[in-house]
Amino acid sequence: MGPPGSGKGTQAAFIASAFDVPAISTGDIFRHHISERTELGVKVKAIVDAGDYVPDSLTNELVADRLSQPDAAKGFLLDGYPRTLDQVRFLDELVAADGKLEAVIRLTADDEELISRLTHRAHEQGRADDTEQAIRHRQNVYNEQTAPILEVYRERGLLVEVDGIGTVDEVAARIRESLIARGIGEAGDTAAA
């Protein structure tokens, strides 16, 4: 978890590789539908272009479908989900039969650093949804809707906070060390670095 631009997607790929589980990004799922111009993609594009979150009901349906696929049976890493208290409740019900969450990693970063990262990424990748106005709006939405769920995971003892500023390898090493400290992964495991 973390605000837009905090490096969730980049770090998710490292963690998923280290644990040999799929990294499931709701943003990637939405972008795929947008690029394919599916019915869902048309709806999502209007929402994303405004800088808003896709409604919980739609997001939950896509996550449930993705977690039911065979490659997620032995574990998974969620990138950008859950983002609201309703999504937390839905995820709790979804994983109740199969197991539990082991950790919730939160990447922290300064707002202005994030705006700089995202505007740079927008220019490099041609992402129309990353205008400065949309970025600031998404940060406000994150702070209002998503940040409160961090307290839920903190109370459950699942929250692992990691400084998201630094090189990709530095942040990956911090995450790996934090997970090992919780008994997740092996001390000699360098796959996530």
SS3 107: strand
The pTM (predicted TM-score) of the whole model is: 0.79
Average pLDDT over the chain, rounded to an integer: 86
Domains in the chain: ranges and CATH: 8-181 (3.40.50.300)
Would the pLDDT of 189 be above 60?
no
Calculate mean pLDDT across residues 127-132. 76
pLDDT, tens digit, for every residue of 85-108? 999 999 999 988 766 789 999 999
Is 171 exposed, middle or buried (CB count within 10 Å of its CB: 0-12, 13-18, 19+)?
Answer: buried
As a whole number of angstroms, the distance between CA 44 and CA 31 comes to 9
pLDDT, tens digit, for every residue of 7-48? 888 899 989 998 899 999 988 888 888 899 988 888 888 887
- Residue 74 has a pLDDT of 86
